[in-house]
Amino acid sequence: MDYLVANFGAILFYVIAVITVAAAIGVVILRNPVHSAVSLLLTFFMVAVLFIMSRAEFLAAVQVLVYAGGIMVLYLFVIMLVRLTDLGPGTVFLSGAAPLAILGGVVLGCLIAVGILLGSMAAGDGGAAAMTAIEGQEVGNTEAVGWILFTKYLVPFEVVSVVLLVAMIGAIVFGRRDVALISKGEEVEP
Amino acid sequence: MISATHYVALSLILMCIGIVGVMVRRNFITVLMSLELMFNAVNLNLIAFSFRLGDLGGQVLAIFVITVAAAEAAIGLGLIIALVRLKDTVALEKADEMGG
């Protein structure tokens, strides 16, 4: 029991990590896109827990709100919208190069793992205080992130808003009916 | 004690699963989900090092990554809608207009 209490953080990390990896594998190997989406949802929640364990409470909330709330609903909406009959039961849902791709992924993973093991990493939790402080003064994580976002990183913040505007215009253009029809060679009423 | 190496290893596994998912799936929607897995792996790395190095810049960068991921989801799902209108399918190998 003492061992469990002393190593609670490590045990929690390993449990969460195993669930995260299992859910991520589920995203790739499940045939039905809806099942993949639910598996992805589980991955998002587990990553949010890992954020909290790294003292990023605000990011964990954003992860749940934006990813699990916004993006997942968008995905499920599109899955419901399009017909998926051509990839239904009994058809091949992996591409022909799947064994080669899996081999390539494993080799790439081993290469990066060797790089990680050869390098030296920062250990411990030296930065815990900095996650909740504005210029040395103790506040909450959300307040600290907001402060640095609107002072030191104000210009990147404005640039990202332009990126969002461009993405919005692009999504509207792609979603227009006449774009697809013109590509198909059909006449379109203006 | 959990060190940054643990987080980087988990992030590596997630990233490789995402890469394999992008390569092996025929379904456009699932390919985009694998992309989201890769974005999450990057965020995990940023948060872990932000904590270890005591620099909030990593968390701010993770916010920007989440923003770009949301933009990518909007564009990608718009592309799916356009592909379904044009080809009546989400299978990626049917989109071969440019000779790919």
Boundaries of domain holding B31: 26-90
At residue B79, the 3 state secondary structure works out as helix
- How many contacts, defined by CB atoms under 8 Å, are there between A and B? 265
* Residue A63 C-alpha from the chain's centroid: 8
Any alpha helices (H) in chain B, and if so which ranges? Answer: 4-24, 28-53, 57-87
- A75 is a domain residue: yes
DSSP state of A67: I
- A157 is a domain residue: no
Pairing of β A133-134 and β A137-138: antiparallel
The residue behind tokens 């590509």 is: A183
Domain count, chain A: 1
- The model's pLDDT over A36-81, given as tens digits with 9 standing for 90+, comes to 999 999 999 999 999 999 888 999 999 999 998 989 999 999 888 8
Weakest-pLDDT range from A49-53, A184-188, B57-61: A184-188
B34 with A27: Cβ contact below 8 A = yes
- B19 is a domain residue: no
Does the interface predicted TM-score (ipTM) exceed 0.85? yes
- Cα gap A26→A36, rounded to integer Å: 6
- B3 is a domain residue: no
Candidates B49, B54, B78; nearest CB to A130: B54
Residues of B in contact with A184 (CB under 8 A): 86
DSSP percent split of chain A into helix, strand, coil, nearest 5? 75, 5, 25
- CATH (domain of A10): 1.20.120.1200
Interchain CB contact of A61 with B (< 8 Å):
no
- A70 is a domain residue: yes
pTM equals: 0.86
Candidates B19, B26, B72; nearest CB to A95: B26
* Residue A82 banded pLDDT, cuts 50, 70, 90: confident
Per-residue pLDDT, averaged over A19-31, amounts to 93
- B62 is a domain residue: yes
| Closest A-chain CA to B94 | A86
- The model's pLDDT over B67-84, given as tens digits with 9 standing for 90+, comes to 999 999 999 988 888 888
The answer to whether A24 and A44 are in contact (CB under 8 A) is no
- Cα gap B49→B39, rounded to integer Å: 16
The residue behind tokens 């974005």 is: B39
- B37 is a domain residue: yes
DSSP assignment of A116-138, as one string?
HHHS----S-TTTGGGGEETTEE
- Token readout for B1 is 């004690």
B81 with A94: Cβ contact below 8 A = no
Domain count, chain B: 1
Best probe of the B interface among A12, A45, A59, by most B CBs < 10 A, is A59
Interchain CB contact of A19 with B (< 8 Å):
no
Cα three-residue angle B42-A52-A134, rounded to 5 degrees: 90
Residues of A in contact with B67 (CB under 8 A): 160, 163-164
- A137 is a domain residue: no
Best probe of the A interface among B6, B31, B35, B77, by most A CBs < 10 A, is B77
Closest of B96, B51, B32, B56 to residue A40, by C-alpha: B32
- CATH (domain of B57): 1.10.287.3510
Closest of B21, B3, B39, B23 to residue A116, by C-alpha: B3
